[in-house]
Chain A
Amino acid sequence: MSKPVIKESSMDLQKEMLARHFEKLAVSEENGDKCAYTFVPGNLAELLHCFDLLPVLPEINALQSAMRNKSADYIAAAEKEGHSEDVCTYVKCDLGMAKNGNIGPTGTRLPKPSVLLLSYTGCFTFMKWFEILKQEYDCPIVMLHVPYQADGKPTAEMRRYIVKQLQEKVIPVLEEVSGKKFDIDRLRQLMASSARSEDNFVKVMESAKQTPSPIDGYFGGVYYISPIFTAFRGTPEAETYYEALLAEVNDRAARKLGPLTPEGPMKEEKYRIVVEGPPNWTHFRELWKMFSDEGAVAVASTYTRVGGVYDFGFRHDPDNPLESLADYCLGCYTNLNLPTRTDMISKYVEEYQADGFLINSVKSCNSFSAGQLLILREVEQRTGVPGGFFESDLVDPRYFSAANIKNRLESYFQMIEQKRNAVSAL
Chain B
Amino acid sequence: MAETKADMIDLAEEIVRDLELGTVSKWKEKTGGKAVGCMPVWSPRELLHAAGILPVGIVGGGDGIEIIKGDAYFQSYICQIPRSTIEMGLNGNLSPLDGMIFPSICDVIRNLSGMWKMLFPKTPAWYLDMPQSFDEIGVDFFTHELKRLFGEFCRVSGQNPDNDSINRSIAIYNENRSLIEELYQKRRERPWCFPVSEGYLLIRAGYQIDVKEHNKMLRSYIDLAAASDCKAIDNARVVVLGSFCEQPPLNLIRTIEKSGCYVVEDDFTLGARLIKGEISTTGDAIENLARAFIEQSREAAFIYRESEKGGELVEKVKKCNAEGVVCCAPSFCDPALLDQPMMVAAIEKASIPYTSFKYAENTGQFQVIREQAGTFADSIKLWS
On whether the two chains bind one another, the answer is yes
Show the binding face of A for B, using Cβ within 8 Å. Answer: 81-84, 86-88, 91, 118, 120, 123-125, 127-129, 131-132, 135, 141, 143, 145, 147-148, 150-151, 157, 160-161, 164-165, 168-169, 337-342, 361, 363, 366-367, 369-374, 378, 391
Check if B334 sits within 8 Å of A125, measured CB to CB. Answer: yes
Nearest 4 A/B pairs, CB to CB:
A338-B114, A150-B127, A128-B338, A145-B132
Q: Is the CB of A124 within 8 A of B112?
A: no
B115 touches A123 (CB 8 A): no
- Report the bound CA distance from A123 to B358 in whole Å: 23
Q: Is the CB of A120 within 8 A of B132?
A: yes
| Contact assessment for A169 and B78 in the assembled complex, using a CB-CB cutoff below 8 Å | no
Which of A91, A371, A373 lies at the interface centre, i.e. has the most chain B CB atoms within 10 A of its CB? Answer: A371
14 A-B contacts, Cβ less than 8 Å apart? A87-B337, A88-B338, A118-B304, A120-B132, A124-B105, A124-B107, A124-B110, A132-B341, A337-B117, A339-B114, A366-B107, A367-B110, A367-B111, A373-B75
Residue in A132, A150, A342, A372 whose beta carbon sits within 8 Å of that of B342 in the complex: A132
Interface string of B119-162 (1 = CB under 8 A from A): 10000001101011100010011001100100000000000000
Question: Given A131-B304, A339-B117, do A374 and B73 touch, yes or no (CB 8 Å)?
Answer: yes
Q: A86-B332, A124-B335, A150-B127 are in contact. Are A373 and B108 (CB under 8 A)?
A: no
Q: Is the CB of B110 within 8 A of A148?
A: yes
Minimum CB–CB distance for A352 against chain B, Å: 23
CB–CB A337/B113 < 8 A: yes
The answer to whether A168 and B137 have CB atoms under 8 Å apart is yes
Q: Decide yes or no whether B62 CB sits under 8 A from chain A.
A: no
Q: How far is the CA of A382 from the CA of B118 in the complex (A)?
A: 13
B133 close to A371 (CB less than 8 A): no
Closest beta carbon of chain A to B71's beta carbon, Å: 9
Contact of A150 among B105, B119, B129 (CB under 8 A): B129
Q: Is there an interface contact between B78 and A366, defined as CB atoms closer than 8 Å?
A: yes
Are B106 and A82 in touch, CB under 8 angstroms?
no
Q: A83 contacts which chain B residues (CB < 8 A)?
A: 338, 341
* B363, chain A: closest CB distance, angstroms: 15
A99 to chain B, nearest CB (A): 13
Known: A161-B131, A161-B137, A338-B114. 13 other contacts (CB 8 A): A84-B340, A86-B332, A87-B337, A88-B334, A127-B132, A128-B338, A147-B141, A157-B141, A161-B133, A161-B141, A169-B133, A369-B77, A370-B111
Residues of A within 8 A of B129 (CB): 147-148, 150
Residues of B participating in the A interface, judged by any CB pair closer than 8 Å:
72-75, 77-78, 82, 104-108, 110-115, 117-119, 126-127, 129, 131-133, 137, 140-141, 144-145, 148, 301-302, 304, 306, 309, 331-335, 337-342, 344-345, 358
Q: Report yes or no: B75 in contact with A124, Cβ–Cβ below 8 A.
A: no
Q: Determine the distance from Cα of A391 to Cα of B76 in the docked complex, in whole angstroms.
A: 10
| Candidates A169, A340, A373; contact of B73 at CB < 8 Å | A373
> A129, A131, A361, A372 — which one has the most chain B CB atoms within 10 A of its CB?
A131
- Are A371 and B112 interface neighbours, CB within 8 A? yes
Give B333 Cβ to nearest chain A Cβ, in Å.
8
Of the listed residues A81, A87, A129, the one surrounded by the most CB atoms of chain B closer than 10 A to its CB is A87
> How many residue pairs, one in A and one in B, have C-beta atoms under 8 Å apart?
148
Interchain nearest-CB distance for B357 vs A (Å): 11
Q: Flag if B338 contacts A125 (CB, 8 Å).
A: yes
Which single residue of chain A is at the shortest CB-CB distance from B127? A150
A120-B132, A132-B338, A370-B108 known; A141+B117 contact, CB < 8 A: no
Chain B residues, Cβ within 8 Å of A118? 304
Distance of A181 Cα from B304 Cα, bound (Å): 28
C-alpha spacing A165/B132, complex, angstroms: 11
Provide the residues of chain B in CB contact with A339, threshold 8 Å: 114, 117-118
Q: How far is the CA of A340 from the CA of B111 in the complex (A)?
A: 11
Chain A residues with CB under 8 Å of B133's CB are: 143, 145, 161, 165, 169
Whether B144 pairs with A143 at a CB distance below 8 angstroms is no
Alpha-carbon distance between A161 and B334 when the two chains are bound, in angstroms: 26
Q: Report the bound CA distance from A161 to B142 in whole Å.
A: 10
**Using Cβ atoms and an 8 Å threshold, which residues of chain B touch A168?**
137
Q: Is there an interface contact between A371 and B334, defined as CB atoms closer than 8 Å?
A: no
Q: How many whole Å from A8's CB to the nearest CB in chain B?
A: 35
Q: Which residues of A contact B342 (CB under 8 A)?
A: 131-132, 135
Chain B proximity of A192: nearest CB distance (Å): 28
What residues of A have a CB within 8 angstroms of the CB of B77 in the complex? 86, 363, 369
